[in-house]
Amino acid sequence: MPENWSIQELLNAGWSEPDLAWEGVAERTAEAVSQRDYVRAKEEAGQALRIARADFESIDPRLGTSLANYGLCLSLSGDSQGVAPLFQKALEAWRRADPWIARMTAPRVARSSLFHMRMEALHRDTYRARWQLRWRELADDAIKRLESLEAAEATFGPPTDDILARWQRERPAMLNDTRKLMAAAYLLLAPPAPSA
């Protein structure tokens, strides 16, 4: 279901137009891949990469996802020449994302009782530390997936699960830092890392 946010709502949430634009283009990339329309997927992934390069820091995980998705879409559309450097740069961006993640703000979640709200307020550092662990897990999973791409040989198949459906099911309703990171992790088209 499409979302509509006003410019003021974006600004109030600490988001920018490029933040929202990137998410929309990354969603369309995943949609095109799920429909096996790899030419459109490559075009959408290229647009996401242009947004990420122009508007995001080099340590933003969305840049890493954009690089990897563009490489995967190139490969899926039959052009696997030169995708290895894209995967390497994607992995580097995700590996350097710790300072970006450290700056993230823990979301304030509406609770069912005044008691829960008070506990969250009293233990804000603990609450934030728990979110930091969750965010780190998302980043670690993305890094493992990218490492398996880097280790893979020549060709790549489409994702085996419905990435877009998972994202739409699990994305936060609010515009916050967690949503930016989740979008980078969940809309990454790299396959799951092989089990040890």
pLDDT 10s digits, 13-55: 778 889 989 999 999 999 999 999 999 999 999 999 999 999 9
Quick one: average pLDDT of 100-123? Answer: 66
Q: What is the pTM of this model?
A: 0.84
> Average pLDDT of the chain?
84
160: pLDDT confidence band, cut at 50, 70 and 90?
low
- Count of residues making up the chain: 196
Residue 71 scores a pLDDT above 70: yes
Query: So what's the pLDDT on residue 1?
Result: 43
Q: Residues with Cβ < 8 Å from 19, sequence gap 6 or more?
A: 10, 55, 175, 180
